[in-house]
């Protein structure tokens, strides 16, 4: 059999200049300012006065080819055939002709059924991972839990009533591919990996041993089989070994739970970027709509909306009022597990006599 | 009943069809009429919802000549859902800034539909476009079709990963360098390393045009490139006065002046006074008064290093490596990629298996890392100097006897250990 003809290799990143909206190409590097006309609608004004309108809508991220074609038909009709996506999986329709703005908004909201919003001080679309749909490691779903949560947060996506923007991320295991956010949801495991000794031989054992951050895995021979064992008191249930070898089963449908973390921030505005901190743990992994997660996130958003000052991100609000009052206002219990015992732990203690008494 | 006629069984997933947020379940259910394999996908997903258990396991499949980009998955329920026996994802390098023409998007949709399940994701957390649902032959044909149409497949494994960047100068007045051009430059220069995993572990770049960091670079990439400027920011005093007339002096005080982290702003009448020597380029005042204030004219970027999420040593936030570089000319960009090669060489020569560069720095110490990559220390790299007094001052140690073997050769100058007797 003859080898199939191979296409050219190593072509690199697509030539983005072909995909720029004509007004983007014309005014590249020459933008003057922007304004938010209403939630979900921006106008960017170039130095020469050109105006490019952006209509931002919440996308489900996962789409059928037919839905992609529907999106394209709308962009062809109103957007000179150009659009883009954002870091948080919002879609942005780009409009050069102002007259197309209202018909476009109608088409996006009514024909496509995607809500406008995610601009300014709002809850943006949720960064999320692959989940049960197609990942090999997940303890929960992602696309479905995001859909359920955004249904419940839709008001704050479509309006700009919060002190500042809120980035939410949702991850289906502890690796947390969706990363830090003002509010972040992750899965947590509660026991050491259960080892399928008969299947360990498919994995590179030295790599399984080496990957453990707690040095809890050591080689062992069990029933004549070369395998590994886990020192349970050292294991911190992180699941690093599970990524290395599927026979190190860290997940447990009965005992895995979700936890919610707050105060992650990537931007440098006002204060330096920060990691997310534990707020609530032990939330049941409860498909199909995870109501306990929605309830906790809404509690956090309500307290932030009431107490945050303009421009304060969620973590900045908490730092100002103090964690003690964060737990008071949300009603979440502060437990011994909120006190860090990682290598960075000492820097998280209150090493002062500065207290809110 | 043949698999082709398998009925949807999505009791729990159906509950994700109500509500205002667009439902991928509704979309995929509709699409499954055209693509029967999607019925099996939804039914397996329903099983996961019912059992809270996952049925995908990984395997390895590569396009000829490539060592990554196809995320191969096999179903543990292939006896029930035979078309999921091999059901892979193909990662596609996205256009920098995620800008598309509708022709380009339709092309992706057509390739996805022709070769597999026709499910697309915009975008994965790595920045790539994800195309889902190809068997082995479909994956390979999909890759060829993509490449024949000018696309290229993305990275996976211990390789340079697909880059991502903010919209930058294409539609933002804050961008301090051309993020899209730089993303393409790095991708194309190092495309070999993206397609052929040969590092100790993954390496990610993310590019943001300003310190607002819309690409989430600082914590989500091994080497963030964040736009900034030297010297004075640009102030249009007439527009400052307009801002005050419109919003009021109290708003200026409460939301601009007192929110400046280094208190470098004050106001005289309706004139904003900026002490630029104290400005740390946080962007807050520019964000609030973006008509009146702009980044300075001498633009460039800060290079940081070492960000990654929690596995295995806990989170590492990137920290400053090169406080300011210019990224305007071809030469500037090549200087940067030359520098990257130096970092990679030191990290890959000395890093352990599965050790991200941030974990490597944590283990060996930043001062050793700087020596290894030949970068001079700079006070901008630290929040404060060290407080621990145990230091090995190389300059102050006793001189060695002639021929005496160094007890502790530095890691950047270590010879292979020999077995000769002492």
Q: How many domains does chain B have?
A: 3
Contact B105 A177 (CB under 8 A): no
**Which residue carries 């029967």 as its tokens?**
B36
Tell me which DSSP letter residue B317 carries. Answer: -
Three-class SS of residue B208? strand
**Which residue carries 């609530």 as its tokens?**
A280
Q: Specify whether the CB–CB gap between B72 and B59 falls below 8 A.
A: yes
Domain A194-249 has CATH 3.30.70.20: yes
Calculate mean pLDDT across residues A257-278: 97
Tell me which DSSP letter residue B316 carries. Answer: B
CA–CA distance, B388 with B365 (Å, rounded to integer): 13
Same domain, B334 and B367: yes
Calculate mean pLDDT across residues A141-157: 97
More confident residue, A188 or A342: A188
Same domain, B30 and B117: yes
Residue in chain B closest to A170 (alpha carbons) equals B125
Per-residue confidence band for B2, with pLDDT thresholds at 50, 70 and 90 = low
**Which residues of chain B make contact with A343, given a CB cutoff of 8 A?**
313-314
Calculate mean pLDDT across residues A57-81: 98
Same domain, B250 and B275: yes
In a domain, B403, yes or no: no
Nearest-Cα distance to chain A for B53, in Å, is 6
Contact B152 A89 (CB under 8 A): no
Which residue from B49, B94, B152 is facing A11, i.e. has the nearest CB?
Answer: B152
CA–CA distance, A124 with A260 (Å, rounded to integer): 17
In a domain, B414, yes or no: no
Contact A82 B101 (CB under 8 A): yes
Three-class SS of residue B57? strand
Contact A238 B311 (CB under 8 A): yes
Burial per residue of B230-256, b for 16 or more beta-carbon CB atoms within 10 angstroms, e otherwise: eeebebeeebbeebbeeeeeeebeebb
**Which residues of chain A make contact with B23, given a CB cutoff of 8 A?**
60, 147
Q: Give the pLDDT confidence of B61-77 residue by residue, as tens digits.
A: 999 999 999 999 999 99
Query: E strands of B234-342, at which residues?
Result: 234-235, 265-268, 271-274, 293-294, 298-305, 319-325
What is the homologous superfamily of the domain A127-189+253-348 according to CATH?
Answer: Sulfite Reductase Hemoprotein, domain 1 (3.30.413.10)
Q: What is the β-pairing status of strands A127-128 and A168-170?
A: parallel
Same domain, B331 and B196: yes
Per-residue confidence band for B396, with pLDDT thresholds at 50, 70 and 90 = confident
Q: Is the pLDDT of residue A183 over 70?
A: yes
Q: Specify whether the CB–CB gap between B198 and B205 falls below 8 A.
A: no
Q: Is the pLDDT of residue B415 over 80?
A: no
Per-residue confidence band for B405, with pLDDT thresholds at 50, 70 and 90 = low
Contact A8 B215 (CB under 8 A): no
CA–CA distance, B136 with B259 (Å, rounded to integer): 56
Contact A267 B147 (CB under 8 A): no
CA–CA distance, B271 with B212 (Å, rounded to integer): 25
CA–CA distance, A249 with A205 (Å, rounded to integer): 15
What Å distances lie between residue B110 and A63, A133, B131, CA to CA? 13, 21, 11
Which residue among B81, B115, B148 closes a domain? B148
Contact A114 B58 (CB under 8 A): no
Beta-bridged to residue B251, according to DSSP, are none
Asked, colleague to colleague, whether A16-112 and A127-189+253-348 share their fold, the answer is no
- Looking at every residue in chain B, the average pLDDT score rounds to 94
**Which residues of chain A make contact with B119, given a CB cutoff of 8 A?**
62-65
Instruction: Report residue A235 as tokens.
Output: 């294991």
Contact B216 A179 (CB under 8 A): yes
Q: Is the pLDDT of residue B419 over 90?
A: no
Q: Is the pLDDT of residue B186 over 90?
A: yes
Per-residue confidence band for B392, with pLDDT thresholds at 50, 70 and 90 = confident
- C-alpha A73, offset from chain centre: 29
CATH code, domain with B263: 3.30.70.20
**Most B CBs within 10 Å: which of A65, A158, A203, A212, as the mutation test of the B interface?**
A65
Same domain, B171 and B261: no
Q: Give the pLDDT confidence of B276-323 residue by residue, as tens digits.
A: 999 999 999 999 999 999 999 999 999 999 999 988 888 999 999 999
Which residue from A135, A150, A211 is facing B21, i.e. has the nearest CB?
Answer: A150
Q: What is the β-pairing status of strands A90-95 and A82-85?
A: antiparallel
In a domain, B170, yes or no: yes
**Which residues of chain A make contact with B52, given a CB cutoff of 8 A?**
140, 253, 256, 285, 287
Contact A267 B317 (CB under 8 A): no
Residue in chain A closest to B251 (alpha carbons) equals A310
Residue in chain B closest to A69 (alpha carbons) equals B106
CA–CA distance, B339 with B345 (Å, rounded to integer): 10
Calculate mean pLDDT across residues B401-418: 62
Contact B58 A246 (CB under 8 A): yes
Per-residue confidence band for B414, with pLDDT thresholds at 50, 70 and 90 = low
Same domain, B104 and B220: no
In a domain, B417, yes or no: no
Instruction: Report residue B279 as tokens.
Output: 């400005």
Least confident of A14-23, A80-89, B48-57, B410-419: B410-419
Which residue from A4, A134, A147 is facing B16, i.e. has the nearest CB?
Answer: A147
Q: Is the pLDDT of residue A232 over 80?
A: yes
Same domain, B127 and B260: no
Same domain, B346 and B225: yes
Q: Is-cis flag, bond preceding A81, omega within 30? A: no
Calculate mean pLDDT across residues A219-230: 94
CATH code, domain with B79: 3.30.70.2500
Sequence-distant (≥ 6) Cβ neighbours of residue B144 within 8 angstroms: A4, A6, A7, B63
In a domain, B318, yes or no: yes
Contact A63 B315 (CB under 8 A): no
Three-class SS of residue B141? helix
What Å distances lie between residue A345 and A216, A274, A332, B320, CA to CA? 20, 15, 22, 23
Q: Can you tell me the ipTM of this complex?
A: 0.96
Residue in chain B closest to A83 (alpha carbons) equals B100
Q: Is the pLDDT of residue B399 over 80?
A: no
**Residue B23 lies in domain:** 3-148
Task: Determine the pLDDT at residue B401.
Answer: 65
CA–CA distance, A283 with A271 (Å, rounded to integer): 30
Q: Specify whether the CB–CB gap between B29 and B43 falls below 8 A.
A: no
Which residue among B243, B276, B294 closes a domain? B294
Three-class SS of residue B72? strand
Calculate mean pLDDT across residues B264-284: 97
CATH code, domain with B209: 3.30.413.10
Q: Give the pLDDT confidence of A318-351 residue by residue, as tens digits.
A: 999 999 999 999 999 999 999 999 878 898 999 9
Contact A144 B13 (CB under 8 A): yes
Per-residue confidence band for B422, with pLDDT thresholds at 50, 70 and 90 = very low
| Three-state SS sequence of chain A | CCCCCCCCCCCCCCCHHHCCCHHHHHCCCCEEEEEEEECCEEEEEECCCCEEEEEEEECCCEEEHHHHHHHHHHHHHHCCCEEEECCCCEEEEEECCHHHHHHHHHHHHHHHCCCECCCCCCECCCEECCHHHCCCCCCCCCHHHHHHHHHHCHHHHHCCCCCCCECEEECCCCCCCCCCCCEEEEEECCCCCEECHHHHHHCCHHHHHHHCCCCCEEEEEECCEEEEEECCCCCCCCCHHHHHCCCEECCCCCCCEEEEEECCECCCCCCCCECCEEEEEEEECCCCCCHHHHHHHHHHHHHHHHHCCCCCCHHHHHHHHCHHHHHHHHCCCCCHHHCCCCCCHHHHCCCCCCCCC
Q: Is the pLDDT of residue A90 over 60?
A: yes
Nearest-Cα distance to chain A for B351, in Å, is 13
Calculate mean pLDDT across residues B95-124: 98
CA–CA distance, B171 with A43 (Å, rounded to integer): 10
- Domain positions in chain A are 16-112, 127-189+253-348, 194-249
Contact B104 A342 (CB under 8 A): no
Task: Determine the pLDDT at residue B394.
Answer: 81
Beta-bridged to residue B226, according to DSSP, are B208, B302
Task: Determine the pLDDT at residue A344.
Answer: 81
Nearest-Cα distance to chain A for B342, in Å, is 22
**Which residues of chain B make contact with A34, given a CB cutoff of 8 A?**
172-173, 290
Same domain, B267 and B314: no
Same domain, B328 and B241: no
Q: Kindly report the CATH class assigned to A16-112.
A: alpha beta
Per-residue confidence band for B406, with pLDDT thresholds at 50, 70 and 90 = low
**Which residues of chain A make contact with B123, given a CB cutoff of 8 A?**
61, 85, 89
Q: Specify whether the CB–CB gap between A277 and A263 falls below 8 A.
A: yes
CA–CA distance, B240 with B253 (Å, rounded to integer): 13
Q: State percent of chain B over pLDDT 90.
A: 89
CA–CA distance, B352 with B365 (Å, rounded to integer): 14
**Which residues of chain A make contact with B81, given a CB cutoff of 8 A?**
none
Sequence-distant (≥ 6) Cβ neighbours of residue B420 within 8 angstroms: none
In a domain, B332, yes or no: yes
Same domain, B138 and B274: no
What Å distances lie between residue B401 and B68, B404, B405, B411, B413, CA to CA? 52, 5, 9, 21, 19
CA–CA distance, A189 with A212 (Å, rounded to integer): 15
Same domain, B69 and B105: yes
Calculate mean pLDDT across residues A286-312: 98
Tally Cβ neighbours within 10 Å of residue A222.
13
Contact B183 A180 (CB under 8 A): no
Contact A148 B16 (CB under 8 A): yes
Task: Determine the pLDDT at residue A1.
Answer: 47
In a domain, B153, yes or no: no
Task: Determine the pLDDT at residue B310.
Answer: 86
Per-residue confidence band for A3, with pLDDT thresholds at 50, 70 and 90 = low
In a domain, B98, yes or no: yes
């Amino acid at each position: 059999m003859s080898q199939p003809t191979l296409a050219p290799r190593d072509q690199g990143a697509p030539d983005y200049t072909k995909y720029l909206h004509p007004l983007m190409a014309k005014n590249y590097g020459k933008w003057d300012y922007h304004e938010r006309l209403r939630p979900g609608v921006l106008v960017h004004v170039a130095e020469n006065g050109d105006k490019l309108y952006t209509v931002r809508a919440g996308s489900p991220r996962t789409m059928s080819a037919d839905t992609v074609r529907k999106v394209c038909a709308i962009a062809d009709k109103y957007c000179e055939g150009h659009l883009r996506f954002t870091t948080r999986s919002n879609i942005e329709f780009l409009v050069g002709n102002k007259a197309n703005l209202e018909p476009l908004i109608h088409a996006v909201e009514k024909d496509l059924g995607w809500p406008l919003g995610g601009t300014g001080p709002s809850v943006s679309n949720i960064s999320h991972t692959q989940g049960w749909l197609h990942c090999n490691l997940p303890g929960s779903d992602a696309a479905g839990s995001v859909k359920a949560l955004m249904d419940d947060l839709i008001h704050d996506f479509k309006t700009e009533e919060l002190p500042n923007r809120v980035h939410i991320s949702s991850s289906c295991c502890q690796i947390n591919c969706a990363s830090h956010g003002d509010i972040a949801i992750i899965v947590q495991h509660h026991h050491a990996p259960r080892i399928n000794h008969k299947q360990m031989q498919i994995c590179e054992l030295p790599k399984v041993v080496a990957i453990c951050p707690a040095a809890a895995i050591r080689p062992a021979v069990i029933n004549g089989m070369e395998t590994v064992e886990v020192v349970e008191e050292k294991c911190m249930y992180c699941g690093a070994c599970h990524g290395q070898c599927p026979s190190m089963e860290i997940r447990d449908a009965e005992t895995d739970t979700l936890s919610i973390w707050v105060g992650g921030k990537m931007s440098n505005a006002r204060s330096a970027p920060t990691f997310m901190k534990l707020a609530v743990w032990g939330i049941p992994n409860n498909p199909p709509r995870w109501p306990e997660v929605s309830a906790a996130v809404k509690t956090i958003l309500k307290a932030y909306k009431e107490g945050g000052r303009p421009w304060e991100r969620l973590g900045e609000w908490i730092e100002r009022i103090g964690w003690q009052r964060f737990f008071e206002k949300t009603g979440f219990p502060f437990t011994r597990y909120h006190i860090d015992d990682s290598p960075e732990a000492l820097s998280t203690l209150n090493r002062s006599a500065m207290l809110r008494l | 009943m043949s698999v082709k006629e398998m009925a949807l069984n999505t009791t729990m997933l159906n509950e994700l069809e109500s509500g205002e947020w667009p439902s991928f379940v509704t979309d995929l259910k509709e699409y499954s009429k055209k693509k029967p394999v999607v019925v099996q996908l939804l039914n397996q997903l329903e099983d996961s919802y019912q059992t809270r258990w996952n049925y995908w396991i990984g395997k390895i499949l590569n396009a000829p000549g490539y060592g990554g980009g196809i995320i191969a998955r096999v179903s543990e329920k292939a006896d029930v859902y035979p078309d999921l026996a091999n059901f892979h994802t193909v990662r596609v390098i996205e256009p920098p800034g995620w800008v598309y023409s509708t022709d380009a998007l339709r092309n992706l949709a057509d390739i996805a539909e022709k070769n597999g399940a026709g499910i697309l994701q915009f975008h994965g957390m790595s920045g790539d476009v994800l195309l889902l649902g190809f068997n082995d032959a479909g994956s390979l044909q999909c890759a060829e079709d993509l490449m024949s149409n000018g696309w290229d497949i993305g990275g996976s494994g211990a390789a340079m990963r697909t880059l991502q960047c903010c919209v930058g100068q294409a539609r933002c007045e804050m961008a301090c360098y051309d993020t899209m051009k730089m993303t393409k430059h790095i991708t194309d220069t190092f495309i070999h390393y993206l397609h052929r995993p040969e590092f100790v572990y993954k390496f990610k770049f993310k590019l943001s045009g300003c310190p607002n960091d819309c690409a989430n670079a600082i914590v989500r990439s091994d080497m963030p490139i964040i736009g900034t400027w030297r010297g004075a920011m640009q102030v249009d005093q007439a527009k400052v006065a307009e801002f005050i007339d419109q919003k009021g002096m109290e708003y200026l005080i409460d939301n601009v002046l007192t929110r400046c982290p280094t208190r470098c702003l004050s106001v005289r009448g309706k004139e904003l006074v900026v002490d630029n020597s104290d400005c740390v380029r946080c962007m807050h005042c520019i964000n609030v008064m973006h008509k009146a204030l702009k980044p300075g004219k001498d633009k460039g970027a800060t290079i940081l290093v070492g960000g990654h999420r929690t596995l295995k040593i806990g989170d590492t936030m990137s920290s400053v490596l090169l406080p300011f570089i210019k990224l305007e000319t071809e030469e500037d960009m090549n200087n940067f990629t030359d520098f990257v090669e130096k970092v990679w060489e030191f990290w890959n020569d000395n890093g352990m298996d599965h050790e991200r560069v941030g974990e490597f720095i944590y283990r060996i110490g930043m001062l050793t890392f700087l020596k290894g990559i030949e970068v001079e220390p700079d006070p901008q790299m630290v929040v404060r100097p060290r407080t621990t007094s145990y230091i090995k001052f190389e300059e102050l140690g006793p001189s060695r006897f002639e021929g005496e073997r160094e007890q502790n050769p530095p890691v950047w100058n270590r010879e292979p250990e020999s077995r000769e007797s002492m």
